Structure 1
Amino acid sequence: MPTPIRDFIAGRIGGRRAVETIVTSRTFDDVILPPRTRATLDEALSLVRSHELIFTQWGLGERHSTGLGLAFNFAGPPGTGKTICAEAIATALGRKLLSVRYAEMESMWAGETPKNVAAVFRMATEEDAVLFFDEADAIASRRTTGAAQSHQREANTVVNVLLKELEAFNGVVIFATNLAINFDPAFERRIRTHVLFEMPGVEEREKIWQVQIHPAKTPLGDDVDFHLLAERYEVSGGDIKNAVLKAATMAAAEPGVDEIKRIHQWQFERAMDEVVGGKGVMQQSLFSEESNAGDDRVIRAVEAAERRWAKTAQTAVVMAGVGIVLGLVAVMVAMVY
């Protein structure tokens, strides 16, 4: 039955979509994984398939009334196949996947975010779907002791609600993260299986290069050597995908008729160099070491702005009716002058 909270989460209000329902078609054949990662995934899938046997036929569900759900943690660098594998598990179980964007679930109103988290678990139960939280460290981060700020108290409440929902949930939920070190210890204890998504080795990378190419339609030059590319670039599957698309774009932009165009080795290499270079740019600091004085000024300015914003926000919350409007106008005038 539709409710305001559920409508908000599903994106029926204001066009915001916090949960995407995916009818999956991907399988484990669509992803190339290191042997150890694949073996752990097979064990996780076996746990799901034997759940009915263990807790119903063998009676353990009568002895353990909570914590019967299956929570998996997919941890590893970006582009290593975590999302694809979540979809593959849903496909293997014949279920839909509810993919949660936690950033869209966060509410500016105190107390609403925990309600949204609880609503997502209810949706998964009602639809018998696999629940998938991407970038899960945002929702399950370590709780703050003696939280003084309202946002810290709200974050602690969200984790508490998440732990409670996990205890009561009887389905399959998958958490994916690049920063597992940030998880709350109590959350970690509720994870049934941790799956480490390692960076692919040379053999896996060569296969990943190959599966990105259509065997019958993609025109390749005679000089293309995927094994050489796999040896040269120690990157993730996501990086390889991006490089293939970049190389194809380069080849398509070459002069001449389309029938004679080919993707050559140099284009794959140049594309991968750009992908790797782009990652390097993103990892750089915003400020150089030579601008420490400037850094301090920027930090002080940001902190001052945050204090002004907090004071203004507190004033606005206290006001009511016409007072809110007048208060906001006064603040805006004060900021202008």
Structure 2
Amino acid sequence: MPSSPLLRFFTGRRGRQAVDTITPERTFADVILPPATQRTLEQALAQVRNHALIFERWGLGERHATGLGLAFNFAGPPGTGKTICAEAIAHALGKQLLVVNYSVVESMWAGETAKNVAAVFRTAIEDDAVLFFDEADAIAARRTAGARQAMEREANTVVNVLLRELEAFNGVVVFATNLAANFDPAFERRIRTHVLFEMPGVAERERIWQVQLHPLHTPLSADVDFAALAERYPASGGDIKNAVLKAAAAAAAEPGVDVGKRIHQRHFVQGIEDVMAAKSVMRQSIFADEDAAVAAGPNVAVPDARTALALQAVEARSQHAALLGIALGAAGLLAGLAGLVVAALR
């Protein structure tokens, strides 16, 4: 997709494309899903396989001029297999997967983002590829009623164009999101199938632990118990993958010759504990901690970490207030000087 030289100068986007083209390698055999998700996904895949039969041989395409495309919404927590399944759909169809780059599609210039969205769909038509909007709530968010700000009007325009292109598109589009509630309601009828990707159960987690490892080359100790790990840690497939990689790195880093190294249960436990701890850190909120500190009162002690976070937030807000006061004062001074100049000229 061409972009203006001025846009490339300001943004540094010189070589990136609006879409990344991926030759799909992963299939549905590479993802382990809960039974309900698996059933819904199989129904979605049946629609893909029977699309030509329904709209060409059965003649429904002559009765319905628009809305012939297949749009799927994969919604669910991170690490539950949404991206893998998008790739698997493209693999099943024997098509390329086009992953949209929002950093390239979004533009600082009014009207450019909407044009870029339309160009993305044209590229999918020309390449006969499956179009994939990952983290789709970033571009398909709810429109603002009575938008007054330029940014709100621009966001509304982008959603309008996306809806129009989706209606006219006769291919396969997959939206993936962790925040389906943020979608504009108009997408509900334009998306053929909504697939809820739930967190895996104990049985699925045990299988996920197993498939992360090579059946022949990965050296496992005799004490490894995947059933115990699955029972103890309610993790997503993405979390388990990260835990396995951490466990392998820890085992490889231990002293001794490589041929004698093994991944033990303690390595897997430490790996998943680290992953779960990281998720806990990411759920922290500076402002929530600040509010808790204020609510506790000046004479009530709070944990050191929360106190530090609260103080940082208060300090940041104080700095912002001070800068705003300085800016307003400077503006008043300039207005006064301008008045004196006008009076002197008279």
The TM-score normalised by the length of structure 2 is 0.83
**Following the alignment from structure 1 to structure 2, what is the Cα–Cα distance between the partners of residues 285 and 184?**
27
**Secondary structure at the residue paired with 1:185?**
coil
Residue 248 of structure 1, CA deviation: 0.4
The percentage of counterpart residues that share the same residue type is 68
Alpha-carbon deviations, 1:282-303, whole Å to 9, x = none? 0101242226686466347558
Amino acid at match of 1:176: A
**Secondary structure at the residue paired with 1:118?**
helix
Residue 149 of structure 1, CA deviation: 1.1
Report 1:98-177 matches (<5 A): 98-177=98-177
2:252 touches 2:261 (CA, 8 Å); kept in 1? Answer: yes
Q: More displaced, 47-56 or 222-231? A: 47-56
Answering whether residue 316 of structure 2 is matched by residue 298 of structure 1, we say yes
Report 1:1-337 matches (<5 A): 3-4=2-3, 14-287=14-287, 288=289, 289-290=292-293, 295=313, 298-299=316-317, 301-302=319-320
Residue 15 of structure 1, CA deviation: 2.6
**Following the alignment from structure 1 to structure 2, what is the Cα–Cα distance between the partners of residues 162 and 127?**
19
Looking at CA atoms only, which structure, 1 or 2, has the larger radius of gyration? 2
Alpha-carbon deviations, 1:12-49, whole Å to 9, x = none? 95133431000111110001111111111111111111
Amino acid at match of 2:241: K
Residue 271 of structure 1, CA deviation: 0.8
Amino acid at match of 1:266: R
CA RMSD of aligned residues (A): 2.4
**Secondary structure at the residue paired with 2:73?**
strand
Structure 1 pair 157–227 and aligned structure 2 pair: CA distance change class (3 A): same
**Secondary structure at the residue paired with 2:20?**
strand
Structure 1 pair 146–305 and aligned structure 2 pair: CA distance change class (3 A): farther
Matched length: 305
2:87 touches 2:97 (CA, 8 Å); kept in 1? Answer: yes
2:72 touches 2:191 (CA, 8 Å); kept in 1? Answer: yes
**Secondary structure at the residue paired with 2:54?**
helix
Q: More displaced, 179-188 or 101-110? A: 101-110
Structure 1 pair 105–147 and aligned structure 2 pair: CA distance change class (3 A): same
**Secondary structure at the residue paired with 2:39?**
helix
2:286 touches 2:313 (CA, 8 Å); kept in 1? Answer: no
The TM-score normalised by the length of structure 1 is 0.85
> Which residue matches 1:318?
none
**Secondary structure at the residue paired with 1:184?**
coil
**Following the alignment from structure 1 to structure 2, what is the Cα–Cα distance between the partners of residues 199 and 73?**
17
**Following the alignment from structure 1 to structure 2, what is the Cα–Cα distance between the partners of residues 142 and 301?**
33
Amino acid at match of 2:15: G
Structure 1 pair 63–235 and aligned structure 2 pair: CA distance change class (3 A): same
2:45 touches 2:89 (CA, 8 Å); kept in 1? Answer: yes
The list of structure 1 runs, each at least 4 consecutive aligned residues, that deviate by more than 6 angstroms after superposition, is 303-309
